[in-house]
């Protein structure tokens, strides 16, 4: 582990992140093996505004893990949500089974970020939503599920440059004008400050990723995930139960 960490750091400082990302992907693939063998569950959240390098980091992570044991679920605003009962219901249905990882590309935090800024979440319900989120995440912790929450930050200038480039490609998914939120929007920053103060708990802390540089962001995100896996996953193979001898 020490040798691998040295390789990551050395490649980063030299400015050539390709070898570091390759080594880190291999390391994550190795860390997934004890998770699968011991039947441990894990959840990873990718949060942050549009253009914050989330998708590039997700592609790197997807290339690291065994796809047979990973599910990726993008979260968008759903007008049908009210017909499905509790607002967390659609996330309950996507929780990982033993040995698997669920990656939420955006998550239940949309309700107190984008949806709040766009007026889709009533202000009088915000405190209750925070309580329900913390209870939900504590339940996952109590059930033995590893939860890694990554928030990708980005400067407004870099965000605008990236979204302008996307708009030039007609095959790229376009964000509706009414749904676009600038990273430096005061209402968004206020919502983000309250999110961090209310949900940065000891059982599920936030890890902030600087998304201005895509490769650096991917490296930081994968390092955070590898660190969490190293601490949470058993280091030894599971003990096999021998069949009883017949006298």
**What confidence tens digit (pLDDT) does each residue in 161-202 have?**
999 888 888 787 666 656 889 999 999 999 999 999 999 998
pLDDT of residue 172: 75
Taking the alpha carbons at both ends of the chain, their separation in whole angstroms is 46
Residue stretches of the chain with pLDDT short of 50: 1-14
Coil, helix or strand at residue 204: coil
In Å, how far are 111, 113, 118, 162 from 180, measured between CA atoms?
Answer: 15, 12, 9, 13
Answer for the pair 45, 110: CB distance below 8 angstroms, yes or no.
Answer: no
pLDDT of residue 180: 87
pLDDT of residue 10: 38
Q: Buried (b) or exposed (e) across 38-48, using 16+ Cβ within 10 A?
A: eebbbbbbbbb
> Which strands, in side-by-side order, build the sheet including 70-74?
70-74, 101-105, 42-47, 146-153, 206-210
pLDDT of residue 197: 97
């Amino acid at each position: 582990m020490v040798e691998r960490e040295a390789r990551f750091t050395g490649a980063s400082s030299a400015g050539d992140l390709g070898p570091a990302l390759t080594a880190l992907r291999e390391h994550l693939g190795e860390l997934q093996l004890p998770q699968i063998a011991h039947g441990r569950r894990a959840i990873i959240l990718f949060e942050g505004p549009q253009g914050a390098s989330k998708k590039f980091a997700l592609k790197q992570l997807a290339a690291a893990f065994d796809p047979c044991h990973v599910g990726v679920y993008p979260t968008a605003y759903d007008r049908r949500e009210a017909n499905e009962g509790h607002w967390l219901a659609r996330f309950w249905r996507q929780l990982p089974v033993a040995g698997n990882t669920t990656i939420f590309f955006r998550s239940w935090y949309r309700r107190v970020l984008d949806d709040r800024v766009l007026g889709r979440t009533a202000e009088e319900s915000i405190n209750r939503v925070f309580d329900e989120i913390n209870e939900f995440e504590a339940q996952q912790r109590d059930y033995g599920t590893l939860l890694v929450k990554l928030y990708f930050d980005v400067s407004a200038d870099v965000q605008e440059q990236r979204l302008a480039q996307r708009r030039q490609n007609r095959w790229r998914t376009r964000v509706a004008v009414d749904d676009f939120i600038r990273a430096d929007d005061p209402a968004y920053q206020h919502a983000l400050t309250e999110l961090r103060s209310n949900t940065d708990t000891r059982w599920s802390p936030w890890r902030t990723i600087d998304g201005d540089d895509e490769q650096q962001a991917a490296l930081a995100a994968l390092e955070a995930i590898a660190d969490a896996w190293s601490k949470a996953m058993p280091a030894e193979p599971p003990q096999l139960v021998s069949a009883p001898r017949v006298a």
